[in-house]
Structure 1
Amino acid sequence: MHIVRRNITFFLRTLLIIGFSYFFWLMLKITLEYIPLDSNVSFLMIKQTEVKQRPEYLYFFYTHVYTSIFVLLSGFLAILRKDFGWKDFHRNMGKIYIFLILMLAAPSGIYMGIFANGGMLSKFSFVILGILWWFSTFKAYRLARQKKFKEHKQWMWRSFAFTLSAVTLRMWKVIIVYLFHPNPMDVYQIIAWLGWIPNILLIEYLITKKQI
């Protein structure tokens, strides 16, 4: 029975690694679109009002894009290596993850949320997401400093749920556009909320059931 359980765990972890690697590669491809710097490519093509009227917008945008890919990777590696018992690696990846979110990725994300497409509904959602992302990460950091590691783990999972919104948002966009072909601005309003609310609800459920 123990061997079967161990094999199932190994299989699920392998699927998790493969799935994350695939989506990480997709996110990396999106990031690489902005190298070298060009304000007339991809997402920035529909943000020309902000690009031209707000000189600081590009600084926040590039900060968010370039740091978020490392946030995604360091967060996943911190979780993965914790399972393997590599404490030093877990701690170092966690420090990178927390620093990048608190100092760079979340603040720049909040700023970008103020100018999000899709009207006030989208703006409201992305700003809330950025604030919750920052707060959950800061809470996890404080709990680690206090050596309350059980609570630290739970808050880190909450933080990573918000981090994964970068992936799930795009997944929902593909599904919604493929099935319903809505107006582009309507899509933004929908995925702005779907990108993170199901994630955090799932994590809260798993915490309640003591699965993490």
Structure 2
Amino acid sequence: MSAFNKLNVFLLWSLSLLVALVSWRFLVLGVELSMPAMMHHMDGAKMAFYAHVFFAPVALAILPFQMSNRLRMSRQSLHRWMGRVYGVAILIAGVGGLIIAPDAATGTVAATGFFLLSTLWLVSTGLAIWFAMNKRITDHRRWIIRSAALTLAAVTLRLQMPIGVGVWGFEAAYPVIAWACWVPNLIVAEWYLSRKPALMAA
């Protein structure tokens, strides 16, 4: 494995697990202290909000395990079971995201970005699972990479927020980040898939 690939693997594992753990801080601190910008959801679809913020980190924490070639080859049964948990977590978190997206802070642009993210997240993951169940492994791998790119929006959002808010302020940055946290991820995934057709068929 090249140094570049080792770095990518390290970043996938460290950032996925770190962001997942940090995302569960509301379990200890409560929403008001840990996510003050999200408090408006407490007056609306509270259960959908909790479903999203609890189960999305579950999917994120499982992701590096599912992307591990070593685990997939040596522990196929575990890979399948973790895939089921990943899919259920995204189903719950994605539906929660669809419900709370229209109430996103800063208005319609942010709401549309997050709503489309949840929609594509559900569709890509559903297709990946459907192809796996039908033994269409090449198609499964292609769609799970798209799903992974969207799951990693949780990471890119948290990397972008301090910079965006620090430079432009929350009101200006948040609508942009609602799109920037996932559109570039998906573009990179499509670029990767276009460059690695043989890998997808392996």
- Confirm or deny that 1:173 pairs with 2:165: no
Partner of 1:147: helix, strand, or coil? coil
Aligned positions of 1:107-122 closer than 5 A: 107-122=95-110
For the structure 1 residues 177 and 183, does the alpha-carbon distance in structure 2 shift closer, same or farther, using more than 3 Å as the test?
Answer: closer
For residues 113 and 171 of structure 1, the distance between their equivalents in structure 2, rounded to whole angstroms, comes to 20
Is residue 19 from structure 1 mapped to residue 8 from structure 2 by the alignment? no
Partner residue of 2:81?
92
Shift of 1:64: 1.2
Q: In structure 1, the residue corresponding to 2:27 is in which secondary structure? A: coil
Change in 2 beyond 3 A, CA 1:48/1:70: closer
Does structure 1 conserve the Cα–Cα contact (< 8 Å) formed by 2:124 and 2:144? yes
Which one-letter code corresponds to 1:204 in the other structure? Answer: E
Deviation track 1:63-105 (CA, whole Å, cap 9, x = no partner) reads 1111111101222211114566122222121111112112x11
Q: Following superposition of structure 1 onto structure 2, how do residues 1-212 of structure 1 map, counting pairs within 5 Å?
A: 7-8=1-2, 11-36=3-28, 38-43=30-35, 45-52=36-43, 54=44, 57-81=45-69, 85-86=73-74, 87-102=76-91, 104-178=92-166, 181-210=167-196, 212=200
How far, CA to CA, are the matches of 1:111 and 1:37 in structure 2?
A: 24
- Rounded to whole Å, the distance in 2 between the matches of 1:25 and 1:91 is 20
CA RMSD of aligned residues (A): 2.1
**Cα distance change, pair 81–70 in 1 and its aligned pair in 2 (3 A):** farther
Alpha-carbon distance in 1 for matches of 2:61, 2:127: 20
Higher relative contact order (CA 8 A, sep 6+): 2
User: Per the alignment, in what secondary structure is the counterpart of residue 123 of structure 2?
Assistant: helix
Structure 1 segments (4+ residues) deviating >4 Å: 81-84
Structure 1 residues 146 and 28: CA distance shift in structure 2, 3 A: closer
Equivalent AA in structure 1 for residue 124 of structure 2: S
CA 1:88 to 1:81, structure 2 compared with 1: closer, same or farther past 3 Å? farther
Decide whether aligned partners of structure 1 residues 83 and 154 sit closer, same or farther in structure 2, where only a CA change above 3 A counts.
Answer: farther
Aligned residues of 2:16 and 2:64 also touching (Cα < 8 A): no
Contact in 1 for aligned 2:103/2:111 (Cα 8 Å): yes
Q: Please, which runs of 5 or more residues in structure 2 have no aligned partner?
A: none
Per the TM alignment, residue 140 of structure 1 is displaced from its structure 2 partner at its CA by 0.8
How far 1:37 moved relative to its partner?
Answer: 7.0
Q: Residues 135 and 126 from structure 1, CA distance in 2 versus in 1: closer, same or farther, beyond 3 angstroms?
A: same
Larger mean Cα displacement after TM superposition, 105-114 or 159-168 = 105-114
Larger Rg: 1
Aligned pair count? 197
TM-score w.r.t. length of structure 1: 0.83
State the alpha-carbon separation in 1 of the partners of residues 30 and 163 from structure 2. 29
Between the two proteins, what is the percent identity of the paired residues? 26
